[in-house]
Structure 1
Amino acid sequence: MELFQRAKAVRLKCSHDKYLTAEEDEESVTQDRNGSSRAAKWTVEFVDHSEDVIRLKSCYGKYLTASNQPFLLGMTGRKVLQTLPKRLDSSVEWEPVRDNGAVKLKTRYGQFLRANGGLPPWRNSVTHDIPHRTATQEWILWEVHVVEILEAQSPAAKPPPPLVVEKEESFASESSSPARSHSSLSAGFSRQESNDSFVGSPPKGGDGRLIYFHIADEYGQIDDGFEELCITFKGSGVEELTRRLEEELGVDGITVCARSPLNGKLYPLRLHLPPNNATMHVVVVPPSSQALSLRLPADQ
């Protein structure tokens, strides 16, 4: 449950490397590889009468629902749908259960949200069921990727005002970006959609640090209309962080920058990241950007 306590919105990745997705018919729920789609983003709501139960709302304003409709006649699995009931009952309530690094989402009646595999019509379908075969045990495991963090509950997620450095250590201030924005990109980044993009779960203990980032456009500008994205990162080097962001975004040749607290200009990060897994705010500059007249901090 702690994975969701700070979450305003999440995306859920199943064992088939696909994401829980709300279909355009505003009723069906499936799996899709496009995790950057807004349809893969689910808003988290907390249930007043229970600290252990959440609701998940799709981009169409409907709730992830464990229905009583059988997926196939004669089979035990039942359909998972998007619905907007007049009265919010237990069918739209899910209890997160930790399982090592993953989460199971359990209904009130002990069934689990399951991403089915195999041949059609099972392929890409989502049901709720109790897996009886060892081969399908992993189908009820989900990775939780936090897309938006509740600001009131997460001081680290609060974006600082422009040109104000966070109170990390003095070394960390060089690598923290005070800007609170994000832009869609032309060229290689055009497939990303605002804050529906690649985001990692908040780290716990030794699980690494939070890296919040914006993506600059080809002119090095950042759109204030978009919120920061976020990943969890366990490394300590800038090159390693760059490779990680390139993998997440699917584009090579990016430059990871920080914004100078003195004049607001971008400069590329060098060598090592701040110690103690300090949270960072950075800007990703695409290879096509005309803003690559970037300087070292000493040149500022």
Structure 2
Amino acid sequence: MEFFTKTKSIKLRSHLDKYLIADDDCETVRQSRDGSTKRAKWTVETVEDVTNNIHRVRLKSCNGKYLTATDTPFLLGMTGNRVLQTNFENGLERKFDWEPVRDGFQVKLRSWSGKFLRANGGTPPWRNSVTHDDPFGSATQDWVLWDVEGVKLKEENEEMNELLFSESVDSSFDSSGDVSDSESMFPISVFSLNSVSSKRRNFTVQTPSSNKIKTGMDFFHHAKAVRLRSTHDKYLLAEEDMESVTQNRNGSSKNARWQVEYVSHYDNIIRLRSCYGMYLTASNQPFLLGMTGCKALQTQPSRLDSSVEWEPIKDGAHVKLRTRYGNFLRANGGLPPWRNTVTHDIPQRTATQDWILWDVDVLEINVHSTVQKLPSVPPLTEEDSHLFENSVPSSPVPHAKSNSLFKQQSNDLKVVTSQKIEGRTIYYNVAEDNGEVSDEGMTGYSLIFNGNGVEELSRKFEEETGLEGIIVCTRSPLNGKLYPLRLQLPPNNVTMQVVLVLPFSKVAKEFEAQGLL
């Protein structure tokens, strides 16, 4: 309950780094990355059950309706039930009550039925939906965890403005700049003092992932130019079309050089500028339709905004570059069209967790800089480019490679001769209720499967997609109809294309009527 007792308005952020949103139709709720909208704000009303010593909360949307756990199934035959916005009704109070259950630095919200508010991931129709359910699979355990962010209302802001002029605010900070216990009203978010003037103090709310313990700014300290190397041993390259960004093993190219700019008023945000004077940008253009990753591009915006700003986060000897919206710069591997591409995304699978890790090679140091607030660096001149192409600078970073040209040649041989993928690649699409697949002509989704059993493959798909009871089907080359897979799969070196059918769809009922299940 301490997450909700000291603030009147909150935002709930899911494991997908998306916010709980009340839609404008005044009925549905969903997830969205836009946490700045008023629809992401929920007013807290506390409810105490003195008899049972249970504390609950009610959450009211900007539409004046309450977050409600209904008993209507989200999909017929599935376990999750709908969560909606509804008007308060006497006698049905239990449907509006949520019991907070603390889980480390996060919280689970239990409904009247004992189930938990769940932010669904996976493929449509689950993607961005919100239900209340029990997480059965290990892959969905985190789907019921929420971060709570306190939001200041207008009247609270007025009180805070008065307090900012008093010494009571200063006393809430210790000598190291950390927040004292007196600011426990925000158990998830912590306050950091960005800039102080004689007239006012500006505060921003930051999540624990951006605190000074995990900051990756040490990798860029005094750096004027760097190159970034992915876990695939390839470098981040700015293509000559001055728009696209790719990976390449040629780290000696001028296109692998990125100039570092520091953002005023922030000590943990940088911009990266290519040799063409363009900024590394987290665009909102999807890389492939229906997939989660969006393109990383080179752009020259008329006004520098958050899309060109990156927050370095330390991860061991590597660094992750996070956008202001929670995605990470990702170097994609695998088969085309993913190979050598660069997107920004949140890794959902353990196999792709390392794809957001980068090694930083410092190519040029700004010797005269004592503060991490540098002026904008002009694009690389033609003369500098010529000098850079004829030399391979060494890097002071401990994990930078020596004899890079020899390594490049040997790695190029490795990728041709010794690269081996364990298991088979299986491409899949999710069928509609009638069995049709609108995007079947496209590459679709894929996973690597090492096995021959259909049941094992079904469990793998359930963990991958978050769907339960799915039927793995293949399309007959004779008549084009879908048939459930029942026999052992072909050998591991055979690539497959399958279609996933939901268990209570029309086509699944047809399978059952024909005795195919």
Length-normalised TM-score, structure 2:
0.36
Question: 1:44 touches 1:54 (CA, 8 Å); kept in 2?
Answer: yes
Q: The residue matched to 1:43 in structure 2 has which SS?
A: strand
Superposed counterparts of 1:17-36, under 5 Å = 17-36=17-36
Corresponding position of 1:165? 166
Cα distance between partner residues in 1 of 2:306 and 2:6: 27
Q: The residue matched to 1:145 in structure 2 has which SS?
A: strand
Deviation at 1:37, TM superposition (A): 1.0
Deviation at 1:166, TM superposition (A): 2.6
Does structure 1 residue 250 correspond to structure 2 residue 327? no
Query: Could you say if the C-alpha distance between residues 34 and 244 of structure 1 is closer, same or farther in structure 2, counting changes exceeding 3 Å?
Result: farther
Letter in 2 for 1:76: T
Does structure 1 residue 58 correspond to structure 2 residue 61? yes
Q: The residue matched to 1:161 in structure 2 has which SS?
A: helix
Corresponding position of 1:107? 111
Q: Deviations over 1:257-282 (max 9, x none)?
A: xxxxxxxxxxxxx98xxxxxxxxxxx
Corresponding position of 1:11? 11
Corresponding position of 1:256? none
Query: Could you say if the C-alpha distance between residues 62 and 228 of structure 1 is closer, same or farther in structure 2, counting changes exceeding 3 Å?
Result: farther
Deviation at 1:5, TM superposition (A): 1.0
Deviation at 1:169, TM superposition (A): 5.0
Corresponding position of 1:84? 87
Question: 1:14 touches 1:20 (CA, 8 Å); kept in 2?
Answer: yes
Deviation at 1:210, TM superposition (A): 2.3
Question: 2:116 touches 2:133 (CA, 8 Å); kept in 1?
Answer: yes
Cα distance between partner residues in 1 of 2:173 and 2:19: 37
Q: Which runs of 5+ in 2 are unaligned?
A: 178-182, 216-261, 272-304, 310-369, 377-517
Letter in 2 for 1:136: T
Among residues 75, 80, 97, which one is paired with 2:78 in the alignment? 75
Query: Could you say if the C-alpha distance between residues 24 and 229 of structure 1 is closer, same or farther in structure 2, counting changes exceeding 3 Å?
Result: farther
Letter in 2 for 1:114: R
Question: 2:43 touches 2:59 (CA, 8 Å); kept in 1?
Answer: yes
Among residues 210, 218, 221, which one is paired with 2:191 in the alignment? 210
Query: Could you say if the C-alpha distance between residues 122 and 213 of structure 1 is closer, same or farther in structure 2, counting changes exceeding 3 Å?
Result: same
Corresponding position of 2:254? none
Q: Deviations over 1:217-251 (max 9, x none)?
A: xxxx99xxxx97644674499x998245889x937
Question: 1:8 touches 1:150 (CA, 8 Å); kept in 2?
Answer: no
Query: Could you say if the C-alpha distance between residues 212 and 230 of structure 1 is closer, same or farther in structure 2, counting changes exceeding 3 Å?
Result: farther
Query: Could you say if the C-alpha distance between residues 42 and 170 of structure 1 is closer, same or farther in structure 2, counting changes exceeding 3 Å?
Result: closer
Q: Deviations over 1:181-236 (max 9, x none)?
A: xxxxxxxxxxxxxxxxxxx98455xx89524789xxxxxx99xxxx9764467449
Cα distance between partner residues in 1 of 2:173 and 2:142: 42
Letter in 2 for 1:59: C
Q: The residue matched to 1:120 in structure 2 has which SS?
A: coil
Deviation at 1:3, TM superposition (A): 1.2
Q: The residue matched to 1:159 in structure 2 has which SS?
A: helix
Does structure 1 residue 144 correspond to structure 2 residue 148? yes
Q: The residue matched to 1:7 in structure 2 has which SS?
A: coil
CA radius of gyration, larger in: 2
Query: Could you say if the C-alpha distance between residues 89 and 170 of structure 1 is closer, same or farther in structure 2, counting changes exceeding 3 Å?
Result: closer
Q: Deviations over 1:72-102 (max 9, x none)?
A: 1011110000001332601011011111111
Q: The residue matched to 1:110 in structure 2 has which SS?
A: coil
Which aligned segments of 4 or more residues in structure 1 are displaced greater than 6 angstroms? 149-152
Deviation at 1:59, TM superposition (A): 0.7
Does structure 1 residue 98 correspond to structure 2 residue 102? yes
Deviation at 1:109, TM superposition (A): 2.0
Cα distance between partner residues in 1 of 2:82 and 2:15: 19
Corresponding position of 2:132? 128
Question: 1:64 touches 1:80 (CA, 8 Å); kept in 2?
Answer: yes
Cα distance between partner residues in 1 of 2:172 and 2:148: 32
Question: 2:192 touches 2:203 (CA, 8 Å); kept in 1?
Answer: no
Question: 1:212 touches 1:231 (CA, 8 Å); kept in 2?
Answer: no
Deviation at 1:36, TM superposition (A): 0.8
Corresponding position of 1:274? none
Query: Could you say if the C-alpha distance between residues 97 and 55 of structure 1 is closer, same or farther in structure 2, counting changes exceeding 3 Å?
Result: same
Query: Could you say if the C-alpha distance between residues 161 and 89 of structure 1 is closer, same or farther in structure 2, counting changes exceeding 3 Å?
Result: same
Question: 1:13 touches 1:142 (CA, 8 Å); kept in 2?
Answer: yes
Cα distance between partner residues in 1 of 2:26 and 2:193: 31
Percent identical: 43
Q: Which runs of 5+ in 1 are unaligned?
A: 176-199, 215-220, 254-269, 272-286, 288-300
Structure number with the bigger relative contact order (C-alpha 8 A, sep ≥ 6) is: 1
Question: 1:55 touches 1:92 (CA, 8 Å); kept in 2?
Answer: yes
Cα distance between partner residues in 2 of 1:92 and 1:171: 38
